[in-house]
């Protein structure tokens, strides 16, 4: 599409937003975009419609078809309501649950959605205030809902908001429903949105329902005796201004932990996230206040959530007494190592257990599963795909844990999305178990590497904003497909997996295998002869292309940890430079 054609398209779209179907504030914003000599703002606001990606609907707040606002949210809700009324037409009653996080406009969007659903004859359960995403997932199953939504942009900066849609199993929506809902949403015109709901069809959920969720969260404890012995474990917790502010401390207390240390400045609920640039527990700056509190109190562990409390950040001390963030792969390793170790010790393994990871997550998880004769499954990035595996195997096999490298873990299947509330409780138990043996989480990590092999992972992303950025990302993926690297980190390329074709090709002998996934995805993976793995994928929720690198090594002696760690760090950086030039 030429620049003139693009400008014509966005002008046509924008002018439709000057009609009386839109409120005066929105019309004024659109008029300003149209009159601005710099057309980038207009283009980025109108060049496309927001669509469901790996994390649902997400974008910068403001006027426009490519922005989060009451109209794009309204269209999404009307489209979802239309779809529900078609799919569940034979039911006497269709029910949905609605939650929201701390972000600016989240409550406004949630209440508007509740009215739209009720206006379409759908019964609504609306949380009284902000609540964690995992509680919304739990509510769908607990209340027998056919769908649910939560207004959240997870860990994105304050300018963003989002809309996650869920199906009747409590999971984010997957194919074929996702594409069909998008089609419904595309067909919704603003004047077709039913804004005036029926309040009698909206039930408010409060503390009584919270207690039901907490009771289930506490059930993730595997070894209550450990918790009793270490009930005074010093836990620093921060919600980073978000939804975990009450339910995580309440859940930890219900599990038996008595020494929960707050970061008062970050207990302030705010969509402006006043103490951080980005409310992302993956970033050191977001975790610094909690780590400082840990230094002051000589804490045993630091835990944090992102604003909608589905991701868990964990910090521990190394052998020099320095606090550091345990990365997402290591967090998943700690969880699964502990779960499997405890199940084995208690004789709870019956032979039908399984774990799940995403394809970009550490292969060391697969190694732990294999060595313990536990089945494991690989799936695409996004917890909806982990939930899909759980749904497919429900009643035949036992789920005991699943995670992804981006700080998401699900310890139990009463929730069908990543669950930082339950994960905080289980991670506190792991820290208590380590302390019971005179160890730290850092010591446990080294023990895992000694037993199962060493792995070093790093993710890097490149941001490309707007319509032009989307084209650049497409061109980068095209170039990697047409001319893949022949060697990385001094090791020859052996296998290329292209999930857009579901073909894995051995570059050395020319053989090909079918990749076992239900649907295609825009992901490339490169495997070298020495076991190095590189994954390349555009983000489904942000204007980024992501590079995931994992290199392996052998740790023969615990005393060699620092040396092996440094060597693999150097190799990861070398591979990164070779990929991203």
- Angle ∠(435,338,354) on CA atoms, nearest 5: 170
Same domain, yes or no, for 239 and 153?
no
Same domain, yes or no, for 188 and 227?
no
More confident position, 113 or 579: 113
As a whole number of angstroms, the distance between CA 228 and CA 18 comes to 63
Same domain, yes or no, for 506 and 547?
yes
Same domain, yes or no, for 482 and 529?
yes
Average pLDDT value over all residues in the chain: 95
As a whole number of angstroms, the distance between CA 395 and CA 122 comes to 30
Confidence of residue 53 (pLDDT cuts 50, 70, 90): low
- Angle ∠(538,543,545) on CA atoms, nearest 5: 30
Residue 463 CB burial class (10 angstroms; 0-12, 13-18, ≥19) = exposed
The domain tally of the chain equals 4
As a whole number of angstroms, the distance between CA 356 and CA 33 comes to 46
Using alpha carbons, select from 237, 210, 409 the residue that is nearest to residue 327: 409
**pLDDT score recorded for residue 1:** 61
**pLDDT score recorded for residue 466:** 78
As a whole number of angstroms, the distance between CA 84 and CA 97 comes to 13
Give Cα separations from 236 to 131, 287, 426, 536 (angstroms): 21, 11, 15, 35
Same domain, yes or no, for 229 and 334?
yes
Confidence of residue 136 (pLDDT cuts 50, 70, 90): very high
**pLDDT score recorded for residue 186:** 85
Domain end residue (candidates: 205, 230, 264): 205
More confident position, 204 or 51: 204
Question: What percent of the chain clears pLDDT 70, i.e. is strictly above it?
Answer: 99
Report the CATH number that the domain containing residue 556 is assigned in CATH.
3.30.310
Same domain, yes or no, for 431 and 333?
yes
pLDDT digits (tens, 9 = 90+) for 389-422: 999 999 999 999 999 999 999 999 999 999 999 9
Contact present, 336 and 365 (Cβ < 8 Å): yes
Same domain, yes or no, for 406 and 262?
yes
Contact present, 345 and 351 (Cβ < 8 Å): no
Contact present, 195 and 109 (Cβ < 8 Å): no
Same domain, yes or no, for 4 and 124?
no
**pLDDT score recorded for residue 470:** 86
Report the CATH number that the domain containing residue 329 is assigned in CATH.
3.40.120.10
Retrieve residue 568's tokens: 């693999």
* Residue 41 φ then ψ, to 5°: -65, -40
Domain end residue (candidates: 177, 205, 233): 205
* Model confidence, pTM: 0.94
Q: Bridge-partner residues for 149, per DSSP?
A: 98, 165
Domain span at residue 34 reads 1-45
Query: Strands 491-498, 524-528: parallel, antiparallel or unpaired by DSSP?
Result: antiparallel
Query: Strands 512-514, 202-205: parallel, antiparallel or unpaired by DSSP?
Result: unpaired
Confidence of residue 176 (pLDDT cuts 50, 70, 90): confident
Same domain, yes or no, for 444 and 335?
yes
Same domain, yes or no, for 171 and 195?
yes
Q: What is the layout of strands, in order, in the sheet containing 323-326?
A: 260-262, 235-238, 301-305, 312-317, 323-326
Same domain, yes or no, for 435 and 490?
no
As a whole number of angstroms, the distance between CA 323 and CA 441 comes to 11
Retrieve residue 508's tokens: 């050395």
- Number of residues assigned to the chain: 581
pLDDT digits (tens, 9 = 90+) for 56-76: 688 999 999 999 999 999 999
Residue 580 CB burial class (10 angstroms; 0-12, 13-18, ≥19) = middle
pLDDT digits (tens, 9 = 90+) for 501-556: 999 999 999 999 999 999 999 999 999 999 999 999 998 667 899 999 999 999 99
Catalytic residue, chosen from 154, 251, 422, 440, is: 154
Domain end residue (candidates: 452, 483, 503): 452
As a whole number of angstroms, the distance between CA 164 and CA 171 comes to 10
Active-site annotation holds for 154? yes
Question: What percent of the chain clears pLDDT 90, i.e. is strictly above it?
Answer: 90
Same domain, yes or no, for 27 and 116?
no
Using alpha carbons, select from 390, 380, 538, 417 the residue that is nearest to residue 149: 417
User: Residue written as tokens 């199906």?
Assistant: 167
Using alpha carbons, select from 350, 470, 450, 345 the residue that is nearest to residue 400: 350
- Report the pLDDT averaged over residues 368-390: 96
As a whole number of angstroms, the distance between CA 85 and CA 90 comes to 9
Radius of gyration over alpha carbons of the chain, in Å? 24
Q: Bridge-partner residues for 496, per DSSP?
A: 505, 526
Mean pLDDT is lowest, of 344-348, 433-437, 538-542, 570-574, for 538-542
Contact present, 151 and 110 (Cβ < 8 Å): yes
């Amino acid at each position: 599409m030429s620049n003139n054609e693009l400008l014509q398209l966005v002008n046509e779209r924008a002018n439709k937003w000057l009609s009386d179907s839109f409120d005066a504030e929105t019309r004024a914003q659109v008029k300003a975009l149209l009159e601005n000599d710099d057309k980038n703002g207009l283009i980025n606001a109108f060049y496309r419609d927001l669509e469901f990606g790996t994390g649902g609907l997400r974008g910068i707040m403001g006027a426009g078809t490519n922005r989060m606002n009451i109209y794009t949210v309204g269209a999404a809700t009307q489209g979802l309501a239309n779809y529900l009324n078609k799919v569940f037409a034979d039911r006497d009653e269709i029910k949905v649950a609605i939650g929201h996080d701390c972000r600016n406009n989240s409550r406004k969007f949630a209440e508007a959605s509740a009215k739209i659903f009720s206006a379409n004859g759908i019964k609504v359960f609306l949380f009284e205030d902000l609540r964690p995403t995992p509680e919304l997932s739990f509510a769908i199953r607990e209340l027998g809902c056919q769908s649910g939504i939560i207004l959240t942009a997870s860990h994105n900066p304050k300018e963003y908001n989002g809309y996650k849609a869920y199906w009747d199993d409590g999971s984010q929506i997957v194919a074929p429903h996702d594409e069909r809902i998008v089609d419904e949403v595309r067909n919704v015109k603003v004047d077709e949105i039913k804004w005036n709901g029926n309040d009698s069809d909206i039930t408010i959920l409060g503390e009584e329902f919270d207690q039901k969720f907490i009771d289930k969260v506490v059930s993730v404890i595997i070894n209550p005796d450990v918790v009793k012995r270490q009930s005074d474990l010093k836990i620093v917790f921060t919600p980073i201004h978000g939804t975990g502010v009450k339910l995580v401390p309440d859940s930890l207390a219900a599990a038996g932990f008595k020494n929960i240390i707050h970061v008062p400045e970050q207990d302030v609920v705010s969509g402006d996230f006043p103490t951080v640039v980005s409310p992302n527990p993956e970033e050191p700056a977001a975790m610094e206040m909690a780590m400082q509190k840990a230094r002051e109190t000589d804490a045993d562990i630091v835990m944090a959530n992102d604003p909608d409390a589905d991701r868990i950040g964990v910090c521990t001390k190394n052998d020099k007494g320095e606090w550091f963030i345990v990365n997402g792969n290591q967090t998943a390793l700690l969880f699964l190592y502990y779960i499997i170790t405890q199940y084995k010790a208690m004789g709870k393994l019956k032979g039908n257990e399984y774990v799940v990871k995403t394809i970009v997550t550490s292969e060391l998880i697969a190694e732990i599963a294999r060595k313990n004769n536990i089945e494991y499954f690989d799936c695409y990035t996004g917890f909806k795909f982990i939930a899909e595996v759980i749904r497919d195997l429900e009643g035949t096999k036992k789920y005991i844990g699943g995670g992804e490298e981006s700080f998401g873990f699900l310890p139990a299947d009463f929730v069908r999305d990543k669950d930082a509330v339950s994960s905080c409780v289980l991670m506190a138990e792991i820290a208590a178990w380590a302390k019971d043996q005179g160890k730290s989480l850092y010591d446990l990590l080294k023990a895992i590497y000694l037993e199962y092999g060493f792995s070093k992972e790093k993710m890097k992303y490149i941001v490309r904003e707007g319509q032009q950025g989307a084209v650049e990302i497409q061109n980068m993926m095209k170039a990697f497909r047409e001319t893949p690297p022949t060697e990385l980190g001094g090791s020859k390329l052996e296998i290329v997996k292209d999930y857009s074709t579901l073909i894995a090709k051995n570059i050395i002998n020319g053989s090909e295998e079918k990749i076992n996934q239900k649907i295609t995805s825009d992901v490339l993976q490169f495997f070298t002869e020495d076991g190095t793995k590189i994954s390349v994928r555009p983000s489904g929720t942000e204007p980024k292309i992501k590079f995931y690198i994992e290199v392996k090594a052998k740790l023969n002696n615990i005393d060699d940890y620092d040396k092996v760690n440094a060597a693999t760090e150097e190799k990861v950086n070398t591979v990164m430079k070779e990929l991203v030039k």
